Structure 1
């Protein structure tokens, strides 16, 4: 595939993903407007935690492992392979969904032990509504993967966008009638429509057969899929495991911290996910094919370029967000029930979370290269240690000392530990290079310059209006950022297809 074609696809998918993520983020803003950091906001967030968790974790693991095998088998076997995976996945997910509905009260009580009284009752009621969406969401993720591997990126992205749009519309229309329950019904409605639209697209492209199939001629393909599915399940959705652990700990804190942590984490997730989802949606199927063709030099070029772009795009944005966390929180969320207490709670969480924004994005990016080469066990081990050992240990140690801030600090420190471990393994196992010593010095200069400039701006200027302050600071950010890149010899046309060769 030519770079020009690749960049064109990334551009289209990025645009649709930006709209989808912005619309999805609008849901968080609406929660803030309607409920602020009250127990109702906590209940809404907790109610769709598990369906969303399974969507990303199960759906992501199934899709990633499927693409890895599917792209490497003969065309004659692909149709049967898809039918078998669809048959067993549908049955397993149906059982899981029914279990979530029947064991609703036990699951919520045991998973979030800090809930009690009215908050526990509301959360259980909301979860009872959202639980059935698990089946639609996970299968939708897999359908999206099939469409992507066949080059149908745009249609799959539109379906995800529609899911978020319908969710938000349902909230806007029905909140006045059903209150907090409009969020639960809107969540299910959006998931169902996305599921139906993806089935339509699969049928249209002749990629889906409704008839079940329980046997497959080459069992080695199924064994390979299962072999990499479990590691990806454990290590491929690190961010979602972080979210789950954050909410488990936050459920035992003061009222509103589940919501405050959610607002802050979703705010920093927005830019990193837009970039990472758009790039990996197109690059991962390409990586799988290049691994099959043993084009290792091209793989390293993709890795080095991606890591470089993550540094120069995400780290300056993180620095800016750190210094202006309170102003950003107020401008984005500060309406309706989102009062001054909510702003203080959310911005204090945001300031810590944003330090780790680059590490989370980079971890997601690096692990794709391990998955493409089917060396899945290494990132899994690192992820398990970082999330379930280091993260949990840090939170437990810091909670008595600094309170709620322990939750984002645990996530941030363990994310960087995971990043450096993946870099080391990527270098020695896959031959991946993150950059030269000269490049690292350039990064240090870029980071130091941004920190000094915004420290001086924040401490030696005064504005009466937050919007004016953000406007002036953003203008300063843009000027200093471009000037710094110029001094470092960077060009905005780095990915200009006219100056690039084939990848």
Structure 2
């Protein structure tokens, strides 16, 4: 029950963040639209955000939590404090130097990252200014991830899970109240990002102090724990962040496409992150410390049981989420974004991108469960090898789909990038499971045969219910009424799915860890 309780806490905080994230995106699209300025901000912010997920929340957390959990399980509190102090010093000094160097080399980095923007000098100059303003966010978020990892390892999930809410609040306040005061309105979003980074770190400090885990930093690259973390981090840089690397590559492609392409893909991606954040990230956040503890205790039975439980929760929720996003793509985008500067054409382009990316939602979610199965055992090399294959698959699929779109003379080339992302995620999740199965770390046992049948029937019923509900959907109503129509469709689909599951004999106790 502790796992469920922790998962529900993280999921509730994530839901609050995602709801505010939707409000944020609605405000930003209303104020800026899907045009040149907002494309520039997305590209500028995506780089520090990418490194945040790659280093801070990705490789660092996946390497630090297992080592910290091992120290916490088998060593004294004084030794844990020394480890925290040394990691703090190494992380803060390294990220400070990296931030300074990147800000200095900003034009060269952006020339490689968004080469299409260089064709417009004014656009590239604005991108460089925004990038230099937002990149220090990485330093704040690296330290935030450090603090969150410590709290998670000690069973505290509420404050770390609430922290992302502050980014959404900061950007909403900036866009609504401070945009009219700026000579370049888009720059207010850069300041909002920096303020949010500081606040997300600041709210972690009181709880660390109460737990006597707020230790002054000391730089010591030779400390045994630091060396182990660094050794685990190097391969984990790739393994846990394949999705982000693919999105980075997609941004490079999209920079050559028509204005709006980056914004359409960004908006579609935000919609796919809703189920991924509510369930996938919540499960991954909670399960890694628990799996690490079971591995440290050499309890393989409980280790496999946790993997099985997490997989059931993911598949039970992820498949219907993927289907619903595909079927309701246009109503969702119309209800949330089609007003102000966001046009009907933007809706059509974004909805098609969402359909392409929705196919990969279940794969993205499963990666959040399968990858920790390796990281908890301090095996970061296997996910790296698989990650390299997935990145290669994404590159190949991008070329294939873009070539097909060119031959067919389809103008919406950004859809090729969405399809490639989904295909790459499927390759990644499939290979992770194959290795888990082969090594007998985790496999879908005999009890899954009945579950697959139950899930198949329930999803079939949900598809029929949504198809019926869409016949009553009317887009020619007031924007606020569209929101209620979409909520009604979601309730109809979820209700049909739940009733069908119960009718097949499935019960909530089957999801107990």
CA offsets per residue over residues 178-218 of structure 1, 9 Å max, x none?
2111111000111012222323432343212225242656x
**What is the correspondence of 1:246-285 to structure 2 with a 5 Å cutoff?**
246-285=250-289
Q: Is the 2:175–2:188 contact (alpha carbons within 8 Å) kept by the matching residues of 1?
A: yes
Displacement of 1:359 in angstroms is 0.5
Matched, 1:477 2:493: yes
Matching residue of 1:175: 179
Q: Distance in 1 between matches of 2:493 and 2:161?
A: 31
Q: Secondary structure at the match of 1:71?
A: helix
Q: Is the 2:140–2:201 contact (alpha carbons within 8 Å) kept by the matching residues of 1?
A: yes
Q: Distance in 2 between matches of 1:93 and 1:66?
A: 16
Q: Is the 1:13–1:278 contact (alpha carbons within 8 Å) kept by the matching residues of 2?
A: yes
Q: Which range moved further: 436-445 or 238-247?
A: 436-445
Q: Distance in 2 between matches of 1:398 and 1:215?
A: 46
Q: Is the 1:84–1:214 contact (alpha carbons within 8 Å) kept by the matching residues of 2?
A: yes
Matched, 1:294 2:298: yes
Q: Is the 1:24–1:168 contact (alpha carbons within 8 Å) kept by the matching residues of 2?
A: no
Distance 1:473 1:114, change over 3 A: same
Displacement of 1:405 in angstroms is 1.4
Matching residue of 1:365: 369
Q: Give the one of 360, 373, 378 matched to 1:356.
A: 360
Displacement of 1:108 in angstroms is 1.1
Matching residue of 1:63: 61
Q: Distance in 2 between matches of 1:95 and 1:66?
A: 21
CA offsets per residue over residues 365-387 of structure 1, 9 Å max, x none?
11011100122211211111112
Q: Distance in 2 between matches of 1:457 and 1:281?
A: 35
Q: Is the 1:303–1:434 contact (alpha carbons within 8 Å) kept by the matching residues of 2?
A: no
Displacement of 1:241 in angstroms is 1.5
Q: Give the one of 396, 399, 403 matched to 2:399.
A: 396
**What is the correspondence of 1:153-232 to structure 2 with a 5 Å cutoff?**
153-178=157-182, 179-214=185-220, 219=224, 221-232=225-236
**What is the correspondence of 1:115-126 to structure 2 with a 5 Å cutoff?**
115=117, 116-117=119-120, 118-126=122-130
Matching residue of 1:413: 423
Q: Distance in 1 between matches of 2:415 and 2:475?
A: 29
Matching residue of 2:143: 139
Q: Which range moved further: 116-125 or 358-367?
A: 116-125
Q: Which range moved further: 333-342 or 21-30?
A: 21-30
Q: Distance in 1 between matches of 2:229 and 2:475?
A: 59
Matched, 1:51 2:48: yes
Q: Distance in 1 between matches of 2:230 and 2:299?
A: 25
Matching residue of 2:436: 426
Q: Give the one of 322, 331, 334 matched to 1:327.
A: 331
Q: Which range moved further: 330-339 or 437-446?
A: 437-446
Q: Distance in 2 between matches of 1:189 and 1:164?
A: 11
Matching residue of 2:104: 102
Matched, 1:20 2:17: yes
Matching residue of 2:89: 87
Distance 1:94 1:480, change over 3 A: same
Q: Distance in 2 between matches of 1:181 and 1:404?
A: 26
Q: Secondary structure at the match of 1:72?
A: helix
Q: Is the 2:394–2:421 contact (alpha carbons within 8 Å) kept by the matching residues of 1?
A: yes
CA offsets per residue over residues 203-248 of structure 1, 9 Å max, x none?
343212225242656x3x3333222211211111222212212211
Matched, 1:314 2:318: yes
Displacement of 1:494 in angstroms is 4.0
Matching residue of 1:342: 346
Distance 1:250 1:299, change over 3 A: same
Q: Is the 2:463–2:493 contact (alpha carbons within 8 Å) kept by the matching residues of 1?
A: no
Q: Is the 2:159–2:203 contact (alpha carbons within 8 Å) kept by the matching residues of 1?
A: no
Distance 1:11 1:462, change over 3 A: closer
Q: Distance in 1 between matches of 2:290 and 2:474?
A: 49
**TM-score between both structures, scaled by the size of structure 1:** 0.92
CA offsets per residue over residues 67-107 of structure 1, 9 Å max, x none?
11111121242111111111111111011100121111111
Structure 2: runs of 5+ lacking an equivalent: 406-412
Displacement of 1:132 in angstroms is 1.7
